[in-house]
Amino acid sequence: MSKVLVFGHKSPDTDAITSAIAYSHLQKQLGYDTEAVALGEPSAETQFVLDYFGYEAPRVVTKSDEDVSQVSLVDHNEPSQSIDDLEDLTVLSVVDHHRIHNFNTSGPLYYRAEPVGCTNTIILKLYKENNIEIPKNIAGLMLSAIVSDTLLFKSPTCTEEDQEAAQELADLAEIDLESYGLEMLKSGTNNEGKSALEIVDGDAKSFDLNGHQVRVGQVNVVDFEELLARKEELLEAMAKENEDKGYELFLLLITNILESDTLGLVAGDHYDRVESAFESTIENQEIKLPGVVSRKKQVVPPLTDHF
């Protein structure tokens, strides 16, 4: 069998990159020729994780290699979030914890999707089901993804399975989960030196909502004022992305990880639908979203309903 590329979604977060690494390693132990790659550069948080556990970042690709015809998807399934030439490739497997949307294949495949807070929680199960030992550094990468996706278990997406998986992986990695987790989350809140585009698009996903193209980005902070000081600059970058990429709406979620609250910046059309979805008012292109921390569970579903 020829080499199989394993990757997460575009604008990758910690789960996208580390789940590609962890799943690729598992497949290698099962006899497959795989390589973990990324569809974008690692964020500051992800780079912190890779450095902490002594792992090199996967190489970045936008299309598959010429000699590659088969791929495995982790942490996503929607074509708009995937590799550019996905329609020309055979998808061998998907491991994901998101909604299934606009996804189809011409042949059978292995598909594992569960309603948990992180893809790596599922991948841990796959290691155990196949009796494959997890190396210490990969266990560290995997638990970091769970901490990231669940905001150290504060997100409504977090399940008891995620918490148990994180503790099991922390024991394998020999680290203190709480102290490491907080240090890791804070590493991703440093936006100094980043351009407006890097901030709004660093962790952003595109969604087709009943034929409407919507972009939802998210950035973590410990103080809203840090980014509100750059509000006009951020809104300009969002408006330009709308114009260049054809998005009808760009919503940037600025999430305070200490307070578990979010302030949204809104650019584009459909303000009425956004206000209805969150039962809140947009003022000066800002919308307050108290208690909102999860794009997957608290933002995309109500937007979907109102589109």
pLDDT for position 277: 97
pLDDT for position 265: 97
Pairing relationship of beta strands 212-221 and 204-209 according to DSSP bridges = antiparallel
Give the contacts of 94 (CB within 8 A, at least 6 positions apart): 72, 73, 74, 77, 103, 109, 110, 111, 112, 113
181: left (phi > 0), else alpha (psi -120 to 50), else beta? alpha
- Strands annotated E in the chain: 4-7, 34-36, 70-74, 90-96, 110-113, 204-209, 212-221, 249-256, 261-268, 286-289
Q: Give me the percent of the chain exceeding a pLDDT of 70.
A: 100
Give the predicted TM-score (pTM) of the model. 0.83
C-alpha 179/C-alpha 247 separation (Å) is 39
Helix residue spans in 10-59 (DSSP H): 14-29, 44-52
Q: How big is the chain, counted in residues?
A: 307
Domains and CATH numbers, the chain: 4-189 (3.90.1640.10), 196-306 (3.10.310.20)
Q: Kindly report the CA angle at 283 between 278 and 286, in degrees rounded to 5? A: 65
pLDDT for position 66: 87
* Whether 144 contacts 49, CB under 8 Å: yes
Question: Which tokens go with 94?
Answer: 């998907």
Is 85 a known ligand-binding residue? no
Label residue 269 by pLDDT band (50, 70, 90): very high
Q: In terms of Cα–Cα distance, which of 42, 72, 75, 43 is closest to 60? A: 42
DSSP state of 116: S
pLDDT for position 258: 86
Is 96 a known ligand-binding residue? no
Give the pLDDT confidence of 183-217 residue by residue, as tens digits.
999 998 988 889 999 999 989 999 999 999 999 99
Give the pLDDT confidence of 95-114 residue by residue, as tens digits.
999 999 999 998 999 999 99
Give the pLDDT confidence of 74-89 residue by residue, as tens digits.
999 999 999 999 999 9
C-alpha 148/C-alpha 173 separation (Å) is 16
Q: Looking at 3-7, 45-49, 220-224, which range is the least confident one?
A: 220-224
* Whether 38 contacts 60, CB under 8 Å: yes
Is 75 a known ligand-binding residue? yes
Question: Which tokens go with 165?
Answer: 């998986």
pLDDT for position 241: 97
C-alpha 138/C-alpha 172 separation (Å) is 9
DSSP state of 295: I
Is 201 a known ligand-binding residue? no
Q: In terms of Cα–Cα distance, which of 77, 52, 39 is closest to 170? A: 52
Q: How far apart are the first and last CA of the chain?
A: 43
pLDDT for position 2: 84
Q: Using alpha carbons, list the distances in angstroms from residue 229 to 39, 68, 223, 258.
A: 30, 46, 11, 19
Pairing relationship of beta strands 70-74 and 90-96 according to DSSP bridges = parallel
Give the contacts of 3 (CB within 8 A, at least 6 positions apart): 33, 34, 35, 65, 67, 68
Give the pLDDT confidence of 134-185 residue by residue, as tens digits.
999 999 999 999 999 999 999 999 999 999 999 999 999 999 999 999 999 9
C-alpha 3/C-alpha 81 separation (Å) is 22
pLDDT at residue 1 greater than cutoff 70:
no
